Amino acid sequence: KPSIAWFRDDLRVTDNPALRAAVDDGGAVALYVLDEESLGIRPLGGASRWWLHHSLLALREDLASLGIPLLLRRGPADAVVRETTTALGAGGLYWNRRYGEAERTLDAGIKAWAGASGVHAKSFQASLLHEPWDVTTKQGGPFKVFTPFWRTVSARDFRDPWDAPECGRGFSGRLPDQEELDAWGLLPQSPDWSAGLAEYWQPGRAQAHELLEDFLEQGVADYSVNRDRPDLPGSSRLSPFLRWGQLSPFEVWHAQQRRRRELGDGNAVFATELGWREFCWHQYFHHPDLATANLRPGFDHYPWAWPELDGPGKKGPEKSGHRSADATLLRAWREGKTGFPLVDAGQRQLWRTGWMHNRVRMVSASLLVKNLGIHWQLGEQWFWDTLVDADAASNPANWQWVAGSGADASPFFRIFNPETQARKFDPHGKYVAEWIPEIATPDYPQPVVDLKASRQEALDAYGSL
């Protein structure tokens, strides 16, 4: 009997314990299910759909080179996985764990069904260095502060990454019907905005490893200084590959630990960033509504605006008294036309490439929620739609961090000044010039908001919470 390796956020053949288990248990069939229907599963954004399409093509090739077929199916995962398991007569069903509440409920249901149907189902840890339920404070609760969290997690030994399974251990019998990837419509049609994405990214294992190697060779030594500079290639750009599991955190961790001594400081800071990824997932596991509710309920009364782009603007979540909304401000921010060059450059980089530099993400998010007074959830939704690394935990956790409403968040009164930030982190204006060709012409807009007055307004609103 064959076994199924059910791929989800782990689109890789190395360090994939579920794939190894399926191979060892009768020969593997790989399965990917596009689930846009199950309750509570957040539909993918546009950039993510593009990434997924190309990743599945790459994964299919990687699997084919091992002799393992990849089955593509669409529909509610619960029904699709059962049907496929039955149609194949599979004796085993293996997957690497997911940590969202809806996903865990779904997986638990399938495991129970498998148990009752004589199918051996087993799940593995592969996407996080720690299991969120395994790390608790002395009082037994979740961590709310990063430093003690990471001190606890990073003191552990993380297992070594696994090799890819041996070639020729796939299932070669008759496969059930499957669907064509092209029929899923994951790629944008009209307009097709994906040219910029294709210029910067080749989703799949090859670019992931190339970037990792380049970064460890050239980037990580100066990472602690250069990572804040959007005008330099100072960070790894591994985020979409980690998001989609083309690289596992174990692979990245051990690759950089091996060079720990020769690389010093930069390496240690880089390791801490992997820690922030873990911390975001820790928060999401304990707060499944991270994208829709302030972690600090005091912020429910902050008068954020909730403009609707195609309407007159409506009030946000009912309990709060949101300021009247101005859709033009939200539109200007999304399109990179706020008149603040660093923010606009970032928003254009995001639109064109599906990625934005971390420092600029922070400054841009701060402008939206503090100076423009717009709800962080609208910013989170825009990033969700446009980032190739859009991540169910890291995105809302970081938005809440900037907004001040999150765990171990930046204090609300820390309001970035985009002009000072630009002078400091893009000192020669190179980043801005790259993304805003019209910067020095009359076509570039005037600032849409007065920084000083809006800052004071935000502080007053915060003070009256």
Cis omega (within 30 of 0) for bond into 191:
yes
| 3-state DSSP assignment of residue 305 | strand
- Out of 28, 390, 409, 422, the only residue in the binding site for ligand FAD (CB under 6 A) is 390
Q: 6 vs 241, which CB is nearer to ligand FAD?
A: 241
In the complex, the smallest distance separating the C-beta of residue 211 from ligand FAD, rounded to whole angstroms, is 9
- Out of 21, 216, 345, 387, the only residue in the binding site for ligand FAD (CB under 6 A) is 387
Binding mask 346-385 for ligand FAD (x = CB under 6 A): ------------x--xx--x-----------------x--
Say how many Å lie between the first and final Cα of the chain, rounded: 62
Q: 80 vs 362, which CB is nearer to ligand FAD?
A: 362
Q: How far apart are CA 228 and CA 220, in angstroms?
A: 13
- At 255, list the tokens: 């690759």
Binding status of residue 235 toward ligand FAD by CB under 6 A: yes
Instruction: Confirm or deny that 270 is annotated as ligand binding.
Output: yes
Place of tokens 């029929």: 183
Binding status of residue 55 toward ligand FAD by CB under 6 A: no
Q: How many residues bind ligand FAD (CB under 6 A)?
A: 27
Contacts of 173 (CB under 8 A, 6+ apart): 2
Binding status of residue 38 toward ligand FAD by CB under 6 A: no
Closest CA to 278 of 439, 463, 55, 125: 125
Q: 129 vs 432, which CB is nearer to ligand FAD?
A: 129
Binding status of residue 391 toward ligand FAD by CB under 6 A: yes
In the complex, the smallest distance separating the C-beta of residue 376 from ligand FAD, rounded to whole angstroms, is 8
Binding status of residue 402 toward ligand FAD by CB under 6 A: yes
Q: How far apart are CA 155 and CA 354, in angstroms?
A: 34
Beta-bridge partner residues of 16 = none
In the complex, the smallest distance separating the C-beta of residue 71 from ligand FAD, rounded to whole angstroms, is 28
The DSSP annotation for 38-102 comes to: STTPPPPPHHHHHHHHHHHHHHHHHHHHTT--EEEEES-HHHHHHHHHHHHT-SEEEEE---SHH
Name which of residues 251 to 290 contact ligand FAD (CB under 6 A).
273-274, 276-277, 280
Q: 6 vs 215, which CB is nearer to ligand FAD?
A: 215
Q: How far apart are CA 218 and CA 232, in angstroms?
A: 12
- At 161, list the tokens: 């990454």
Instruction: Confirm or deny that 172 is annotated as ligand binding.
Output: no
- Out of 38, 194, 236, 386, the only residue in the binding site for ligand FAD (CB under 6 A) is 236
Q: How far apart are CA 159 and CA 16, in angstroms?
A: 12
Place of tokens 């950089």: 256
Q: 234 vs 307, which CB is nearer to ligand FAD?
A: 234
Binding site for ligand FAD (CB under 6 A): 227, 235-239, 242-243, 273-274, 276-277, 280, 358, 361-362, 365, 383, 387, 389-391, 394-395, 398-399, 402
Residue list for the binding site for FAD = 223, 235-239, 270, 389-391
